[in-house]
Structure 1
Amino acid sequence: MSTPERRSILCPNCNKLISRDEPSCPWCGTARPGSWLKNNPLTRSVGSADRLVTIIITVNVVMYVVSLLISNRPQGSGGLFSALSPDQSSLFVLGATGVVPIDRYGRFWTLLTANYLHGGVLHILFNMMALRQLLPLVAQEYGTWRMLTIYTLGGVAGYVLSYFAGVGYTIGASAALCGLIGSLLYYGKSRGGLYGQAVFKEVWGWVVGLFLFGLVVPGINNWGHGGGVVGGIILGFLLGYRERRAENLFHKFLALGCILASVAALALGLLSAFFTLSGGHFH
């Protein structure tokens, strides 16, 4: 006589192997992990850390390409640091942030879009390489939904501080990157132990490197970096990490809010570029 087949799935929250018939995940406590609403191709894809990392990097690259396409600056001219650099007007219409866009034009949504804009090929290359390293680590310790929230709100925190510091124009994913770094600093210090100390030490090296880079290279928004780090620390404390608190419905709704706000802001930036190219005006 054959025995009933045990159907196994990956928990949609913690990705541990469990039975589909479990009333709740024995690892993270997620209720009814085998239900179709929580375990279907769409939700599995959205909640996949690898998929989210790919989407975030792809959006950054797409916005960079668009900024080049609408730029009036001849490409290929200048030195290494000016190669493939969009002009300031294209970055402004797509959503550069700072005192001028916010105070003069009321473009508050640029606090989100600036995280997806870059001023040159080296700028985006370095930031995307850093994102590829840091995003999976934050997703591992905090979960994919909290990672997305930290990336989004950490970037906003960085640009809010640079706004109050009087920075006129600013762009780049480095504020959001520093939000990730801040959350890992908090995690390493809070968790402790050999692993926590190793994470803290490694990430602290990023902080020192960014600080020195900001002293040497002109035009670096150190206020944005500092605000991102502080924002990431606060978010890490408020949201908690996996070993202390499993991701819950609140974390997912918060991440969804970040997704919707980011999509809306990026759409405004693209619409702004379209109206500008058409000879109209859009703020």
Structure 2
Amino acid sequence: MADDSRIQKTDIIGSYAAIGDSFTEGVGDPGPDGTYVGWADRFAVLLADRLPVLDEATSSDSPHGEFRYANLAVRGRLLDQIVAEQVPRAKELAPDLVSFCAGGNDIIRPGTDPDDLAERFERAVADLTNAVGTVMVTTGFDTRGVPVLRHMRGKIATYNVHLRAIADRYHCPVLDLWSLRSIQDRRAWDDDRLHLSSGGHTRVALRAAQVLGLETSADPDQPWPPQAQRNTFEVRRDDIHWAREYLVPWIGRRLRGESSGDEVAAKRPDLLPL
């Protein structure tokens, strides 16, 4: 969790824009209509619930009005793509709050330097903080329990240290995913083992609310219910299924230079009421 010195009661947040990649788009958390929900959508609901209820007679006189939310995130995007495509739009919208999570897709590519990546991230934060109310910086996950990403844990940790330092310099609240122990549980992850499940996204939304000083109805780090241990055969069967259904296609896209987000557009490109 972020340092107590950064967790303070904030002014009323009347508008929020989320920028990032598949994590912020909500991949792994499908809604009833087939579109993804995700932690940012769930967090937006928590922010909206905090606004006072306005009736028709008083809403026009309110300095805040109805809560508005935009989600500019697109799966597969690299940091430079997010900076080029999403940061200018976020500045144009000028919301009270922007959540900024980027760099994960860069880190998993061979040869990526987390120091260089952090320098580019900082330039984007500096640009954003001059145009929007507050920028919430999001760290990377602890990937020790994610088979295909476990060996990148050191690079992610290095990048996270930089992100915290950047947040300190620009007085940004930090959504620290590394310290959120509950998402180390397998049930916090989707079947592809690369994206959070609905339960994982819910816990991240609750932690984001805590970071901004909001009261939450549940503890995001509450342990998951006990479950029966799987035997070796069940584990091996699941690993084979995962490799066939998810790992092989993922490697294929990397070899072909394709991205899962090549034909995807932002799901909420404008600040709209929930």
User: In proportion to residue count, which structure has more strand?
Assistant: 2
For the pair shown, the structure with the greater C-alpha radius of gyration is 1
Shorter-normalised TM range: under 0.3
TM-score normalised over the length of structure 2: 0.27
TM-score normalised over the length of structure 1: 0.26
Q: Which gives a bigger RCO, structure 1 or 2 (Cα 8 Å, sep 6+)?
A: 2
